[in-house]
Amino acid sequence: MKPEDLPESLSPLRDLDWSPINIGESSASVWRIALGDGNAAFLKSEPLHPLAELPGEIERLNWLTHMGFKAPRVVDAEQGHERLWLLMSAVPGEDLTHYLDQPDVFVHVYAQGLKRLHALDTTTCPFDHGIEARLAAAESRVEAGLVDETDFDDARSGWTARQVLDWLKVNRPQTGQQIVTHGDASTPNILAFDRRFSGMVDCGRIGLADVWQDLALACRSIEFNIGRDHIAPFLSAYGAEWDEAKYLYYCTLDELF
């Protein structure tokens, strides 16, 4: 269904073919808009809120564009009376949920994409995604009642958001070198074209953090989608060794976002 409160600047899109994108767990609404000749744009909308993520995503997409990284380009950004709007270009290819029957390609593309992102120059990245910054953001989300306690993984089923936050504060792991991380490196956010990495989407949490910020969520997503046996080949292709403590920590941290 098309939104009724589309800003005037975006109204020329109303008569085009819209398809809602329901994969993912973001609070934002996303549509694919067909432009003809196989081309498309994506529109993302989020309610106005002090903790809204779209303003930060716009900043990060513009930075990724400056860095020449494969991600959506900002076409237009608008603020209405009650919502924020972001119109983006499409990234070629399909997300990795379309490669579940090709686990070798799935693993290779996952590792290839993260290695390329993690190689970006940290000295030019203004975004902090480290543990202290994320705990502060998590505290704000808990206090605002934005955490869905019914969606916790089995290991934390029945916990309150405050209990998760308290555990995170007590169990901080040692962190390694800070690199540019995606922040939500799950399967739907990694794209491939012709069996090769073609880009990343949902980039609102790009920032400097320990590599396991991304590896933990990638390993969890790999286990869920194609099986735990594929985690070791993924880590081998990426060039990392398993870290149980960091895996547990960053998966737990993700519960609050």
CB atoms near residue 134 (< 10 Å): 22
Query: Which member of 5, 15, 154, 184 is catalytic?
Result: 184
Distance CA(54)–CA(78), nearest Å, equals 10
The conformational region for residue 172 under phi > 0 = left, psi -120 to 50 = alpha, else beta, is: beta
Contacts 24+ apart (CB under 8 A), 37-44: 39/90, 40/90, 41/13, 41/75, 41/87, 41/88, 41/89, 41/90, 42/72, 42/87, 42/88, 42/89, 42/90, 42/201, 43/10, 43/13, 43/85, 43/86, 43/87, 43/88, 44/85, 44/86, 44/88
Distance CA(82)–CA(215), nearest Å, equals 36
Q: What Å distances lie between residue 19 and 14, 31, 40, CA to CA?
A: 12, 5, 11
Question: Do the Cβ atoms of 228 and 198 come closer than 8 Å?
Answer: no
Sheet with 94-95: list strands edge to edge: 94-95, 190-193, 196-200
The answer to whether 184 is a known catalytic residue is yes
Active-site residue list: 184
